[in-house]
Structure 1
């Protein structure tokens, strides 16, 4: 995805309606006051009327409204934020997880280890918007989706999207979309109006988890089925039409999420693969957890990856070329709960199931086979003190090892290496899954440097082809 850093290249991407760059940048039209994604099907504006922005928040901050035709706010965020390990990348991952909504800019800065002024300066300098504006844009998008795809009451939508008050919600929606919440609901596409319904406790809130480019759900669901821990997860249905369900521990309460294997596909006017979505449902005990729950599912299913960049690099390798051609868009699954994944990477599936039954918190309202939350690190540290598992759990509980969305990957790797008894292969799994590191090479297999910076994806191709075993 290189080669679009200059304005001429970006304009060419707009002129050719290239869906590969949706979310990588946005363009706005001075004469209309509207901003769009590069693949917008509208007539291409004249070059001198176009401005480019790194984020939707920057376009909104400059006074532009989201296009109602291409809905630029709905595209996956730039894949950079999942790949980059610097302060901006870490900040973007935490903003997506709802840290600013819950803890403010001061909380974000404290987690990053910088002053609020430094964080503001770095984000504004690179992205054209500070943390408050970026979080505001995220809230507005979440609210619009709920307005147009569910029958939830407007007040409930305001708090589910992360707004502090209904008044703030109304003011933001008018500023971003030049429409009231009621007008946005009435303007929903016909398919959205037909499908819209008030969520029920069993159905949950219906969602479309968007991805860019091709997506191969089969190997992801194979892995999730292989490692599913009873009581916390289950996978049901025949291959190609499976549903993955799991329990979630969230900042304000608990949740149950379900994601379907079958993918939906968007249309494009250029013939390029524009992306699509996975259908999901989320049932929450507190609606304020919606944004966080969605982002954790996105990380688990690796929905913000850039398959074009990955496939281009790995497809140039003679060994991997036929594997990439057979499975374009193969992803590197992450984790819905990084601390849980770390414990499971060490313990294995059977031992993890024992831990759930013995130490996991039972749900107030179990749903079928989903009965428990995975035990918290602090509980495991007390229960299993004289073991590597206890040492890892204690390090997670006291913050010695930090694996959350804004974790510093290098610091986390060093902290994991200091846990007594934790071997390099387990550390590699934790880095790949819990930290979302796209470039991990575990000890053992021959992993050439030419696969950088996508070695995690290369190994997933080998596993999907049966050349490596799932661990």
Structure 2
């Protein structure tokens, strides 16, 4: 986003929610930075400066406003960048890529030099890569301080700090208050719980939990997941440890996560996983505005109902869903996935798991050790069972196949090289498992039917692929709108088994 100071100031005077998360206001007279919707008195025009990220404001020495809590939107705004490599880098930093490797190693993984990476990120956000990673840790720590029941020592470990002293110093520097002061102001009393812990995950703009929940509910795998009363829960395996996660709305712009069974040191990884799976760091209103400019897509994008693009809980699980979903409905694929989980998944061992959860989704190693005939007995066709086993064995041999690539084209190329994986499956895996938001499975019948409903013409896959070029770099979001539009047409409801 190119910031127009006059437009930004008009937005904060109106407290326009459409701009929330798209820029931040630094007030020089107070040293505070705020969101455009902050309820505090509007500062004078000559006293403010506008920046594109909370990270930039923090790097400039401004402290977060205690009323509007801008730090909950401190993730790097990868959605707003035009350079594909930079978007990919920031998305990975948001999910903890710099926690266990140097900037040089990270840049090499992306296919360019560390100096170039630093220059790209500083030019876009005004901060260094490591600074972004530090802000991310501090933001998680604050959410645990104010919304959880862990002790400060536990929070320091959970948010990736090497020592309690470093944790205290960073929180004081970033938020202008000590951890104990922040907790007291939030009215929390530490219990040092090692059972269930709740934390609030802020979203960029409206969370739109209703649509996220509907999407997740339609795809729940029995035993692995459950969905009732607007609460989605599932079993996750982190390392050799099982944990349970229950998600629900917390107002319009946040999701509450109740976590049970996770080790303290895993909270950092777990919160990044949840944010990525729910697409919480994307400004969906900004993307919708771009896509709504297309005459064909416009009727499918309702104002105030901007869609998020759900990701995956594990790339392998999503890939299995994609293979099972080849040319069948979501309901049929869900049934098959439930049978596979029941047969090959590891039983839940821990106490206190959310109700209805009994098994973890099987690992690639478990499926790779089986034979195609084992899956044919569960209802898979011979071709699909063979593809599933071969795919699992390929992942066991080369886990890097399901890691982010330097480009969408590279990701698709690696996937279609595998037996039984065609362009539809490859694009779907890239879209939901690898975070490639420009992936677009043009041969999908649902997408073609949705386009036909909007235009009166059923396009071929090639025609739809050509037409989708106008929606770059957000073709994945365009697909989500088309799928949802078709679901509404066919069932007159918010969700449908025909949605992808």
Residues 111, 205 of structure 1: CA spacing in aligned structure 2 closer, same or farther, 3 A cutoff?
Answer: farther
Aligned to 2:179: 181
Superposition deviation, residue 140 in structure 1: 1.1
Give the alignment of 1:293-372 within 5 angstroms: 293-315=270-292, 321-325=298-302, 328-347=305-324, 348-365=333-350, 367=353, 368-372=355-359
Q: Is the 1:401–1:415 Cα contact (8 Å) retained in structure 2?
A: no
Distance 1:399 1:121, change over 3 A: farther
For the residues of structure 1 that align with 2:431 and 2:152, how far apart are their CA atoms? 39
Q: Secondary structure at the match of 2:302?
A: helix
> What's the CA shift string for 1:266-287, capped at 9, x where partnerless?
xxxxxxxxxx222221224322
SS in 1 for 2:347: strand
Q: In structure 2, what is the Cα distance between the partners aligned to 1:107 and 1:254?
A: 30
- How far residue 310 of structure 1 moved from its aligned partner, in angstroms, is 4.0
- 1:207 corresponds to: 199
Q: Which residue of 1 aligns with 2:238?
A: 250
Partner of 2:264: 287
Q: How many residues get paired?
A: 448
Q: CA deviation at 1:158?
A: 0.7
Give the C-alpha shift of residue 171 in structure 1: 0.7
Moved more, 333-342 or 43-52: 43-52
Unaligned runs of 5+ in 2: 325-332, 373-384, 452-463, 491-495
Q: CA deviation at 1:352?
A: 2.8
Q: Say if 1:298 and 1:304, in contact at 8 Å, map to a contact too.
A: yes
Bigger mean CA deviation after superposition, 411-420 or 59-68: 59-68
Residues 178 and 201 of structure 1: is their aligned pair in 2 closer, same or farther, counting only changes over 3 Å? closer
CA contact (8 A) 2:76 2:90 kept: no
SS, match of residue 373 in structure 1: coil
Residue in structure 1 matching 2:478, options 430, 451, 455? 455
| Secondary structure class of the residue paired with 2:251 | strand
- Name the CA distance, whole Å, in 2 between partners of 1:45 and 1:197: 36
Q: CA deviation at 1:76?
A: 6.4
Query: Residue 197 of structure 1: CA displacement?
Result: 6.3
Segment of structure 1 superposing worse, 246-255 or 22-31: 246-255
Q: How much has 1:375 moved relative to structure 2? A: 2.5
Deviation at 1:346, TM superposition (A): 0.5
Q: Distance in 2 between matches of 1:244 and 1:82?
A: 29
The question of whether the paired residues in 2 share the 8 Å contact of 1:123 and 1:129 is answered with: yes
Q: Show the counterpart of 2:381.
A: none
Q: Does 1:470 find its partner at 2:499? A: yes
- How far does the alpha carbon of each residue in 1:277-315 deviate from its partner, in whole angstroms, 9 at most, with x for none? 222212243222223212222232232333323443455
Find the aligned partners of 1:118 and 1:361 in 2 and give their Cα distance: 44
CA spacing shift, 1:62–1:207, aligned 2, 3 Å: same
Shifted more, 225-234 versus 339-348: the winner is 225-234
**Greater CA drift, 331-340 or 99-108:** 99-108
Distance of aligned partners of 1:80 and 1:123 in 2 relative to their CA distance in 1, 3 Å threshold? closer
1:224 to 213, 216, 232: 216
For residues 165 and 186 of structure 1, do their structure 2 counterparts lie closer, same or farther at Cα, with a shift above 3 Å needed? same
1:259 is aligned to 247
Q: CA deviation at 1:149?
A: 1.6
